[in-house]
Amino acid sequence: MNYSKLFIFFSVISMAFLVSCNGKSSGEAEWVQLFNGKDMTGWTPKITGYEMGDNFGNTFRVEDGMIKVRYDGGYDSFDNRFGHLFYKDQFSHYKLRVEYRIVGEQCPGAPGWAYKNSGIMIHGQTPGSMEKGQDFPTSIEVQLLGSDSLVERTNMNVCTPGTHIVMDGELILDHCVNSSAGYFYGEDWITAEVEVRGHEVIRHIVNGDTVLQYSQPQLDERDATYAKLVELNGGDKMLSRGTISLQSEGHPIDFRKVEIMILEE
């Protein structure tokens, strides 16, 4: 027996095995950055009372490698100028991960309920389908909420502008449902993650803990946008895909990472 050839053969097999174990397979999902850290390429603002693309007051800006929401560029008063920064593509099955922090002081004139309040909108309508004076896109909102000595609220709640969800087999008509997350104080960075599997299940995850789960996101038949959006959705009120947007609701917030992992359908 030629032991040297046998040794070489098994060495090659062993190396191939190690590479296959340690390397990523071609089909393995990876995180993709939606925010490039330099500018707002791929993102479009829509602010209440303004046309799509009009970034009034430089509300959404990129500084220090972050998307910042600020109100120092023309907001004498907030005046219900709710804003949303939309990513260009729509998604169905994915994980979205955002690193954010709520900072500074609330804009004068902003609603009291919007104190330390922002959000991530998923399964949303497109900015082009919104009315000029529409406050919020029809969507599912993952609330980003801060607490302090003045107010304490659970983080990562769900709200449903123009929509409904199902929890434990029951259609939920309440506008917002609290999560099991605790209170988040100060201006620390927080990692918010949303796992979205079409209309089958949506999970809210904060700092690695799952704090809320629901299913069957759908258009609200009572909402003014219903007729138009159900037609755009092929006559189906169930929401299995949609836009992603970051919210401007009157309190400054920073986003330093926005990334997505596409999941198999």
* pLDDT value of residue 19: 40
* pLDDT value of residue 190: 98
- Cα–Cα distance measured from residue 223 to residue 161, given in angstroms and rounded to the nearest whole number: 9
Enclosing H/E stretch for 4: helix 3-22
Q: Model confidence over 214-244: pLDDT tens digits?
A: 999 999 999 999 999 999 999 999 999 999 9
Q: What is the DSSP string of 28-90?
A: ----EESS-SSS-TTEEEEETTS-TT--GGG-EEEETTEEEE---SS-SS-TT--EEEEESS-
CA distances from 177 to 158, 174, 258 (A): 5, 7, 24
CA atoms within 13 A on the CB side of 252: 16
* pLDDT tier at 150, thresholds 50, 70, 90: confident
Mapping DSSP to helix (H, G, I), strand (E, B) and coil, where does residue 97 land?
A: strand
Residue 253 in contact with residue 147, Cβ under 8 Å? no
* pLDDT value of residue 3: 46
| Residue of higher predicted confidence among 157 and 26 | 157
| Residue of higher predicted confidence among 2 and 41 | 41
Domains and CATH numbers, the chain: 28-262 (2.60.120.560)
Enclosing H/E stretch for 10: helix 3-22
What's the whole-number mean pLDDT along residues 176-200? 97
Does the pLDDT of residue 7 top 80, yes or no? no
Given the DSSP bridges, would you call strands 201-206 and 190-197 parallel, antiparallel or unpaired? antiparallel
Place of tokens 């836009």: 243
Residue 62 in contact with residue 231, Cβ under 8 Å? no
* pLDDT value of residue 29: 87
- Cα–Cα distance measured from residue 262 to residue 107, given in angstroms and rounded to the nearest whole number: 36
What's the whole-number mean pLDDT along residues 140-168? 97
pTM score of the predicted model: 0.89
Nearest one of 153, 105, 98 to 121, comparing CA atoms: 98
Does the pLDDT of residue 61 top 80, yes or no? yes
What's the whole-number mean pLDDT along residues 99-103? 98
Rounded to the nearest integer, the mean pLDDT of the chain is: 92
Q: Model confidence over 23-59: pLDDT tens digits?
A: 444 566 899 999 999 999 999 999 999 999 999 999 9
Does the pLDDT of residue 5 top 60, yes or no? no
CA distances from 101 to 34, 41, 104, 253 (A): 18, 22, 10, 6
* pLDDT tier at 118, thresholds 50, 70, 90: very high
Tokens standing for 161? 């502008």
